[in-house]
């Protein structure tokens, strides 16, 4: 059932995104599962905040309900979308996407990981990324890449902890929130985990 305020309830002025108190911080009892249509409003709230208020993504257009449903439809069995759920609350999500549309890149994927504001720094991003790496290996993908704005230190550290290494920097390739951003490209090979 839709929450009060509808699909764009979170699209007002950008709220303070500093972490909440320690009582709200821990991941608690969290389940990781495939994303479902019923999760899309909560996923959109997480995504749209990042689009409108941060440089965690270089995207600039928030998603409405139709766009969010189309996003989920693109995440087929080979390119899953997953959520971390505490009770009925989606507290983080992530996905795998084709890195390039050309056939030669079919076994290379790009990951995306987002954590709900107020729940960052609690290990949720690590849970999501670890599961995406596991699934990518099981699905027979050869390589994972992440494109991360160069000042997003938390995401860079997260990927480094999970075996990604820096392979390049796109200098001032994205313009968002009134300034140019460098984008760091990170990569991890997956052959060693394909058996799990």
pLDDT tier at 56, thresholds 50, 70, 90: confident
Cβ atoms 76, 122 nearer than 8 A: no
Q: How far apart are CA 109 and CA 158, in angstroms?
A: 17
DSSP 124-173: HHHHHHHHHHHHHHHTT--EEEEEEETT-HHHHHHHHHTT-EEEEEEEEE
Task: Return the SS3 of 10.
Answer: coil
Average pLDDT, the chain: 86
pTM recorded for the entire structure:
0.85
* Helices (H), ranges, the chain: 22-25, 40-53, 65-74, 124-138, 153-161
pLDDT tens readout for residues 67-93: 999 999 999 999 999 999 998 899 999
pLDDT tens readout for residues 137-196: 999 999 999 999 999 999 999 999 999 999 999 999 999 999 999 999 999 999 766 544
Strands ordered across the beta sheet of 31-34: 31-34, 81-86, 89-98, 108-115, 143-149, 179-189, 165-176
Domains plus CATH for the chain?
Answer: 29-193 (3.40.630.30)
Q: How far apart are CA 154 and CA 174, in angstroms?
A: 19
């Amino acid at each position: 059932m839709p929450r009060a305020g509808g699909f764009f309830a979170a699209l007002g002025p950008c709220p303070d995104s500093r972490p909440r108190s320690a009582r709200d911080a821990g991941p608690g009892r969290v389940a990781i599962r495939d994303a479902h249509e019923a999760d899309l409003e909560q996923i959109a709230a997480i995504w749209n905040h990042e689009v409108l208020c941060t440089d965690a993504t270089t995207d600039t257009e928030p998603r409405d309900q139709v766009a969010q449903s189309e996003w989920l439809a693109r995440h087929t069995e080979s390119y899953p979308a997953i959520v971390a759920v505490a009770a009925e609350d989606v507290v983080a999500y992530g996905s795998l996407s084709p890195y390039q549309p050309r056939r030669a890149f079919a076994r290379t994927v790009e990951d995306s990981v987002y954590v709900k504001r107020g729940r960052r720094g609690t290990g949720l991003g690590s849970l999501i990324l670890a599961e995406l790496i596991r699934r990518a290996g099981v699905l027979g993908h050869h390589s994972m890449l992440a494109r991360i704005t160069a000042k997003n230190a938390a995401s860079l550290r997260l990927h480094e902890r999970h075996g990604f290494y820096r392979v390049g920097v796109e200098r001032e390739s994205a313009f968002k929130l009134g300034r140019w951003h460098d984008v760091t490209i990170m990569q991890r090979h997956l052959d060693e985990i394909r058996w799990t």
